Structure 1
Amino acid sequence: MAAKGGAAPATYSPSLTTSKEKRRAPLFSEADWVRPDGRGFHQCRLAFMRTAAVNSASGSAYAEFGNTKVMVSVFGPRESKKAMMYSDVGRLNCNVSYTTFATASRGQVSDNKDFSAMLHKALEGSIILESFPKTTVDVFALVMESGGSDLPVIISCASLALADAGIMLYDLVASASVSYLGKNLVMDPITEEESYQDGSMMITCMPSRNEVTQLTLTGDWSTPKIHEAMELCLDACSKLAKIMRSCLKEAASPSQVEE
């Protein structure tokens, strides 16, 4: 069967704002340091996404952002368990797991329970739950390789998988993150940058509706830096959503359907 939505990697970096003097971050000792992968501070990794990655699922998607590789499978809507109370709206279950070889140090991964709860919170507001009463949609995300900014990739990939499954959505959900390194804001950080960051921000939003479904902030931030980071993330989310829609359009085109 021909793969659906297998487009070439695309970029979704936010528009560059007026650049200020770049100062040294604690990650490096050199005066004019560069990022480990050579990107600019506001440059995101190339994004490759495709749908129909798992044949046995109702919908699925695969995402590859640099070295971060994620697979999401969606099952349902299917009848809720009898032990659950009656509900006139649908239910959403989310589970995030890592392969044993996802990181260089086996077993050293992020808290899966926290990621599962955050994925649920990010997606729930985008789903028209009234469209499948008394039933449940299960979302299973598997991180095959952890290369940094894992949760934003998981969330974006999961939203694409929900759309592939035909779940009614208010809008696609896109997510982006930024790290605060010294005096610099670094978009779409990799693992090494995350380990040195002084603070982080992740935004999850529905770009077409201009609505934020989740915002997380860690570390000490000044108000101007918060505003700058939010603008960068929202711009990146808007451009990532265009890539996601393009992926869905290619998956639905006649040339992608097996004859």
Structure 2
Amino acid sequence: MTSRPTTVTTTLRRQRGLTEEAAVAAIDQACRRLRLPTIRAVVAEALETANREQLSYQGFLAELLLAECDDRDRRSTVRRVSAAGFPRNKWIGDFDFDANPNINAATIHTLATGNWIRRGDPLCLIGDSGTGKSHLLIGLGTAAAEKGYRVRYTLATKLVNELVEAADEKQLARTIARYGRVDLLLIDELGYMELDRRGAELLFQVLTEREEKNSVAIASNESFSGWMKTFTDPRLCAAIVDRLTFNGHIIETGTDSYRLAHTRTTVTATP
């Protein structure tokens, strides 16, 4: 015969004889076993609040469970942002739109909602150094991670080097699949260095794996017409541009360096 599971009523009857000290110890032990660190941390304060505000049993339980859920969501967000591999912290809220009139604030805030990622659309940020491309790339990536998307940031040259090493070690399919699983792949500094044909072909495989399924966002200091400096094969260059622009969002950040202007202003203001 199989034993019947212990009912809630039976458990409550069994616990009626617990002293307050024993009950506190039982709650602590149960929270550890069930992996409820937030409830374990706040239960004493929650009990005081419940007594003071005369919460019902249901209200008290709801407060505890909601606190646990909220903290789990927070920890998950922190993990996703950390897993993205951003080189520094950047947020859209910190971007100075007044310093670069080429960038439409409404457009960026719309992108920050993440709907383009849900659709699998690409995004291209094109402009000279110091115009805010990397800030926007990281800021939009952070916003996406905070909304629950899996994000990965990498430099173009680092990605290509990783792909070449994976191909040499016969791990290319696994590496491409890993980059294919994230919801948003951010590729920074595309166009700063020339890629040989092999590296360009491997990058093309990553883009093809993600095409119309998962989003790619790139930042480049070269306009599309100048990408032949990076991808020296004309047909391959055209194919990569096509992958990154079809149904995509293209934002031109201009040619006036914010960093250079800020430096000049600081130097001028220094007595």
* TM-score, normalisation: structure 1: 0.26
Larger gyration radius, structure 1 or structure 2: 2
Per residue, is there more strand in 1 or in 2? 1
* TM-score, normalisation: structure 2: 0.25
